[in-house]
Structure 1
Amino acid sequence: MDSNHQSNCKLNKTEKKFLRKQIKARHTLLRHEGIETVSYATQVLVVANGGLGNGMSRNQLLPVLEKLGQVDALLMPPNKPYSFVTYKTIEDSKKAYATLNGQKIVDDLGQKIILYLNFVEKVQWKELGLQALPPGLKVVEEIISSEEEKLLLESVNWTEDTNQENFQKSLKHRRVKHFGYEFHYENNNVDKDKPLPGGLPEICDSILEKWLEKGFIRHKPDQLTVNQYEPGHGIPAHIDTHSAFEDEIISLSLGSEIVMDFKHPDGVTVSVMLLRRSLLVMTGESRYLWTHGITPRKFDSVQASKGHRSGIITGDVGNLTLSKRGIRTSFTFRKVRQTPCNCSYPLVCDSQMKEPPPSFPESNKEASQLEQKYVHRVYEEIAGHFSSTRHTPWPHIVEFLKALPSGSLVADIGCGNGKYLGINKELYMIGCDRSQNLVDICRERQFQALVCDALAVPIRSGSCDACISIAVVHHFAIAERRVAALRELVRLLRPGGKALIYVWAMEQEYNNKKSKYLRENRSSQGKKEELNNDLPMQELFVEQMPDMGIQNLASSVSSISDFQKGRYNLRKVANSKLLIHTNRTSFHSQDLLVPWHLKGNPGKEKPTEPFGPAGTHDPSPVFHRFYHMFCEGELEAACQTLNNVSILQSYYDQGNWCVILQKV
């Protein structure tokens, strides 16, 4: 028996568990961040779980590290769950490695976090390039006095009679109140013919006049939304509706500072510090093109040096720490627009869209027509670009296919570019898709594929050992057609055959973790359109938080029964318009249109007919695909309406609800 084996035998359970966790942290860093660890001692250590992204501040971590040796540098990348420490000598870093590895440290929330350290040759963090505020954005500090702040906060009565028209609105994550005009969140607009009585609070009038005189603003607003945020709460990234308000959007921060994130459609993100009593003014590009939002968290990454000012949070990883949030109240002023918007950004302007968004379908015929225009024809146009973003198979789908017996006949219904058709060479797989162009791509790759509708697959009943339906059923516009698509899958199966089904989830934040869709921030537009194509880096909460792997929810009957009892309000307002979703943000409606920004359409000079805001002469048209976002329990409930079906497993997989069913 060699010495290594003897050493391993002497490890107790706790030590073995620690080693597994350390190895997991090492592999996660390598796979998702490209951080390569080494097995020999160096002066530099990567500290997993010791980062700003999981609540560890510089003031907490640095003293712990300094106790073990002279620290040359502590680099803490913004919003990452790890940091880098460089010691003066290798002996000091070896001491830190031996002492701190597996040790618990308390974060700013009072939670115990276990640190996992690994040696690295060098700090492998890409510094952010020079950034500037989005064009048209300005921040004015100390715009009001502390006395004016107090009067403004006192002017909002959160407990007034709820029978009055101007009453408190309670949203899921914040308290909201409207003045002048009520903002309707169901359509992101205001009713211009129904102003609220009383107008804006009287104290606002003199303050707004002062801002006008000093040139801070150009127009006097007539609408005010007051939001109150508790620590840990935020607001999804969004663009204020073009047709609802004039160019200038202004927001006053009271009570506490906050970091607001601005994101360009190409993926560039700029984090802006809004100090207490500062004014944010959005005009032009920053108002019309960039989304703005507040990430729900209890701490913000800010400059560690004293006297940090409003403005950009830089990527200086040697000068970042955490700032604890307090209760913040924002006064957001707007001027209601009385004429259509004629801004310079027609691709994202609802006033300049070539055609208005469609209404929600009320019949099978209307649903079929909507799918034809906003699913079938769109995929024909974007097939080449879509295929270029679909290359990495999902692990759980690969696992399903590789577990099937050799020689099984498997149908991939809605196969796209065929990325799953060649996963298991021991299977006989046939793909089908509604898009001729996608099927042609499959055939170019030497896969068996045919064109057909998922509601009428030309394969004999009971002939398939297994079927997969990945990201297809959510494209059907009404519940009856979604159930019909599931029923068609079951028809193809032999008794005992299995089907795997994936659909987009309404819940893009699940078990306190965001899906890759929300966390994606790529500068390449082609890659930016790719949804959930690779597993993202999970925060390294290896002790505090369970993994988001497959969960057997089939036994969780409560979620299914809650759905069947009407837990989710799925009724549609007659003639209601479908909302157009803002990419990389949470979903606020189950039925909506999701934009696809076409880049480099292979084989075509330009699309034959753009949908939504795209113009025929625009080099980068925008198409819209219809989606129905499934709530938790909804897919299982739909499957349980089918005859001769048993749900073997259901789980959540990075922004998707998934079911494995068996024909009995």
Structure 2
Amino acid sequence: MESNHQSNYKLNKTEKKFLRKQIKASHTLLRHEGIETVSCATQSLVVANGGLGNGVSRNQLLPVLEKCGLVDVLLMPPNKPYSFVRYKTIEESKKAYVTLNGKEIVDDLGQKIILYLNFVEKVEWKEMELQSLPPGLTVVEEIISSEDEKMLLQSINWTEGTDNQNVKKSLKHRRVKHFGYEFHYGTNNVDKNNPLPGGLPEICDSILEKWLKEGYIKHKPDQLTINQYEPGHGIPAHIDTHSAFEDEIISLSLGAEIVMDFKHPDGVTVPIMLPRRSLLVMTGESRYLWTHGITPRKFDTVQASAGHKSGIILSDVGDLTLHKRGMRTSFTFRKVKQTACDCSYPLVCDSQRKETPPSFPESEKEASLLEQEYVHRVYEEIAGHFSSTRHTPWPHIVEFLKALPSGSIVADIGCGNGKYLGINKELHMVGCDRSQNLVDICRERQFQAFVCDALAVPVRSGSCDACISIAVIHHFATAERRVAALQELVRLLRPGGKALIYVWAMEQEYNKQKSKYLRGNRNSQGKKKEINSDASVQELLVEQIPDVDNQDSACSVPGISDFQEGGCHSSKVTHSKLPIHTNRTSFHSQDLLVPWHFKGNPAKDKPVEPLGPGGSLDPSPVFHRYYHVFCEGELEAACQTLSNVSILQSYYDQGNWCVILQKL
């Protein structure tokens, strides 16, 4: 009897533990995803832990579910750690609920996970709009035979010509070989006066001639880069330097298929499947304006239907699964351009950018392109050097974070290298930034961070207890975009949640005191103005320095009239070129370009720019970032246009205007 009693007690403890986890899974789905579970039995179930986002493929999950009955539909949203299943009858869904709840399965990486099922009243999923291929992009399937593929792969001698230490250092996650001209990753260019001996491999000649004859390509390439990608590795999003190559960029995929992401400056991302032995051809807009890259991961989300091979990965959650990556080798052919580029995209063109400084944007499209070139691209280039300067947290931002209740969910929108993400271990903090390279630094530091647009943060409305936006809003190029960024912060907050916002100030001399930016020292006190008292943040005094050479990162994105008050004595830069600011001086314009100077060894810091068509290097490269510096009262006025918001504090602190707001 004693033994049986103890056995029942252990069983009860196990059941209780399982029940707690099941309830926790249900609450997590409701809080973070808006999925409401029900206690009564229905035909539909949500399967927590059984999703594409945590390594479970359709081919793996469906057979498990079908053991309990006839599955009407299995919906697997991309990048989500759950799925939905609808059975033909309630009896079958009840059986799945009883049989599969707590069932341990092995995901595609060989790791054990436990499924938790809950009934749902109905299954709803917002489908993305049907997208089209970026203009000028084509994918040609089975462009070569399997015999030619084998011959090309066997022709690569990886033991020769790969002793370039700079190449090894820059490309530690993939092997690379260059033919015709060597591609220099420090400058993203080639030395046009120094071709490599031997030209392109002889084995490529007949293949290229065939493509020319059949009309797939228009130019005979004279430069080839061969990359070998191991599963799990990729290449950062980029645009091939305009002045380096002609319009046509072509890439042959060998050995394995891959999903390549194409992204427009407005933030629209189109994932494209490139099958094995397919040819990707980029011309026009897809070549000059859209970035392309491969996200480092071991599985790609792909169409499950056998008939879908190449092209856009559709958002049909009833037809998505995971595909394990293999070893892929790409042959990227280009024709070296001997003249300056005169494309139709001057804001993102290295040839035209140097000759024509950007003008103040007069439209939403111009603003988006300006931010793409003078904010997003720059932070991607300077990420490593930038991060090396961002190591000391500002004390009173730390105080704000430490004053938040334990367990609070906090989003850092424009988190840079993540220096605030680990400040308070009692908080659940997540960061996001527009720069992939900065987000990679966050992840290396074991912080939760992802790449996104600050006007389209993929976090459920009302799910955050607090948000911080430090030195971000001033990178938006129109008043409408700045207000939209503020509105997105408010959307993320729950009622009662607070946001701390910092922007650079036009007034670098305030109350007869020069800012630290002008003085170059760090020994003065911030001043603040109380609007509504709040016990948890009333003592907040932030010491932030608008260090123009080294300021926090932007997470930019995409309309109120420009602010006309506030006491600034500067005119709006309309119908004129944006001025370039002189560092450590007062601002004379609200809209300007601020230089970022590389210090130390440019080769070590990696990003360097060619001075002109010859590709010679500037020993002290300079990048220019767009800023809109705020006048007194401007940030506060922008916040007052938002609905359901109360401004708790508004204050000036050493060259910054700052606001703490609360969602009503």
TM-score w.r.t. the length of structure 1 is 0.59
CA deviation after TM superposition for structure 1 residue 525, in Å: 2.4
Match of 1:128 in 2: 128
SS across alignment from 2:352: coil
- Tell me whether 1:51 sits opposite 2:31 in the alignment: no
- Tell me whether 1:420 sits opposite 2:500 in the alignment: yes
CA 1:185–1:436 in structure 2 vs 1: closer, same or farther (change >3 Å)?
same
Contact 1:434/1:451 (8 A) holds in 2: no
1:585-604 matches, within 5 Å, as none
CA deviation after TM superposition for structure 1 residue 109, in Å: 1.8
CA deviation after TM superposition for structure 1 residue 130, in Å: 2.3
CA deviation after TM superposition for structure 1 residue 381, in Å: 6.3
- Tell me whether 1:572 sits opposite 2:652 in the alignment: no
CA deviation after TM superposition for structure 1 residue 189, in Å: 1.6
Match of 1:194 in 2: 194
Match of 2:558 in 1: 525
CA deviation after TM superposition for structure 1 residue 112, in Å: 0.8
CA 1:315–1:474 in structure 2 vs 1: closer, same or farther (change >3 Å)?
farther
SS across alignment from 1:329: strand
- Tell me whether 1:177 sits opposite 2:171 in the alignment: no
In terms of mean alpha carbon deviation, does 221-230 or 87-96 score higher?
Answer: 87-96
User: Distance between the aligned counterparts of 2:76 and 2:473, measured in 1?
Assistant: 47
User: Distance between the aligned counterparts of 2:336 and 2:482, measured in 1?
Assistant: 39
Contact 1:288/1:345 (8 A) holds in 2: yes
Match of 2:272 in 1: 272
Match of 2:229 in 1: 229
Match of 1:632 in 2: none
CA 1:475–1:340 in structure 2 vs 1: closer, same or farther (change >3 Å)?
farther
TM-superposition CA deviations, 1:485-508 (whole Å, max 9, x none): xxxxxxxxxxxxxxxxxx669xxx
Contact 2:508/2:515 (8 A) holds in 1: no
Match of 1:386 in 2: 482
CA deviation after TM superposition for structure 1 residue 22, in Å: 3.5
Match of 2:251 in 1: 251
Task: Give the residue type in structure 2 aligned to 1:386.
Answer: R
Match of 1:445 in 2: none
User: Distance between the aligned counterparts of 2:328 and 2:340, measured in 1?
Assistant: 33
SS across alignment from 1:246: strand
TM-superposition CA deviations, 1:461-485 (whole Å, max 9, x none): 999976446xx6695526xxx9xxx
1:442-457 matches, within 5 Å, as 452-453=515-516
SS across alignment from 2:482: helix
TM-superposition CA deviations, 1:584-622 (whole Å, max 9, x none): xxxxxxx99697699xx9x99xxxxxxxxxxxxxxxxxx
1:98-247 matches, within 5 Å, as 98-160=98-160, 162=162, 171-247=171-247
Contact 1:44/1:120 (8 A) holds in 2: yes
SS across alignment from 2:92: helix
User: Distance between the aligned counterparts of 1:420 and 1:577, measured in 2?
Assistant: 32
Task: Give the residue type in structure 2 aligned to 1:340.
Answer: A
Task: Give the residue type in structure 2 aligned to 1:477.
Answer: D
User: Distance between the aligned counterparts of 1:199 and 1:13, measured in 2?
Assistant: 72
Contact 1:169/1:177 (8 A) holds in 2: no
CA deviation after TM superposition for structure 1 residue 94, in Å: 2.6
CA deviation after TM superposition for structure 1 residue 172, in Å: 2.4
1:602-613 matches, within 5 Å, as none
CA deviation after TM superposition for structure 1 residue 184, in Å: 1.5
CA deviation after TM superposition for structure 1 residue 195, in Å: 1.5
- Tell me whether 1:435 sits opposite 2:505 in the alignment: yes
Contact 2:55/2:108 (8 A) holds in 1: yes
| Paired residue total | 451
CA 1:380–1:257 in structure 2 vs 1: closer, same or farther (change >3 Å)?
closer
CA deviation after TM superposition for structure 1 residue 279, in Å: 0.5
Contact 1:376/1:435 (8 A) holds in 2: no
User: Distance between the aligned counterparts of 2:472 and 2:487, measured in 1?
Assistant: 21
User: Distance between the aligned counterparts of 2:168 and 2:69, measured in 1?
Assistant: 55
1:184-583 matches, within 5 Å, as 184-353=184-353, 354-355=356-357, 385-386=481-482, 388-390=484-486, 419-420=499-500, 434-436=504-506, 452-453=515-516, 459-460=524-525, 467-468=541-542, 475-477=547-549, 525=558, 571-572=601-602
User: Distance between the aligned counterparts of 1:473 and 1:20, measured in 2?
Assistant: 47
CA deviation after TM superposition for structure 1 residue 177, in Å: 1.2
- Structure 2 residues not aligned, in runs of 5+: 1-8, 359-373, 383-388, 390-470, 529-537, 560-598, 611-620, 635-664
Task: Give the residue type in structure 1 aligned to 2:505.
Answer: S
User: Distance between the aligned counterparts of 1:206 and 1:355, measured in 2?
Assistant: 44
Contact 2:179/2:196 (8 A) holds in 1: yes
TM-superposition CA deviations, 1:226-258 (whole Å, max 9, x none): 111111111122111112111100000111111
User: Distance between the aligned counterparts of 1:269 and 1:376, measured in 2?
Assistant: 22
TM-superposition CA deviations, 1:161-209 (whole Å, max 9, x none): 6568998787122111111111122222222222112111111122111
Task: Give the residue type in structure 2 aligned to 1:236.
Answer: P
CA 1:220–1:31 in structure 2 vs 1: closer, same or farther (change >3 Å)?
farther
Contact 2:253/2:277 (8 A) holds in 1: yes
TM-superposition CA deviations, 1:553-585 (whole Å, max 9, x none): xxxxxxxxxxxxxxxx974359997679xxxxx
CA 1:240–1:19 in structure 2 vs 1: closer, same or farther (change >3 Å)?
farther
CA deviation after TM superposition for structure 1 residue 32, in Å: 3.9
CA deviation after TM superposition for structure 1 residue 384, in Å: 6.5
TM-superposition CA deviations, 1:281-334 (whole Å, max 9, x none): 000111111111112222222222224322222222222222222111000011
Match of 2:424 in 1: none
CA 1:439–1:230 in structure 2 vs 1: closer, same or farther (change >3 Å)?
farther
User: Distance between the aligned counterparts of 1:382 and 1:468, measured in 2?
Assistant: 27
User: Distance between the aligned counterparts of 2:234 and 2:288, measured in 1?
Assistant: 21
SS across alignment from 1:352: helix
CA deviation after TM superposition for structure 1 residue 272, in Å: 1.5
CA 1:69–1:229 in structure 2 vs 1: closer, same or farther (change >3 Å)?
same
User: Distance between the aligned counterparts of 2:187 and 2:91, measured in 1?
Assistant: 62
TM-superposition CA deviations, 1:74-122 (whole Å, max 9, x none): 1112332221100122232233223322321111221111222222222
- Structure 1 residues not aligned, in runs of 5+: 1-8, 361-366, 368-374, 403-417, 422-431, 441-447, 483-502, 506-516, 527-568, 581-590, 605-664
Contact 1:105/1:114 (8 A) holds in 2: yes
Task: Give the residue type in structure 2 aligned to 1:131.
Answer: Q
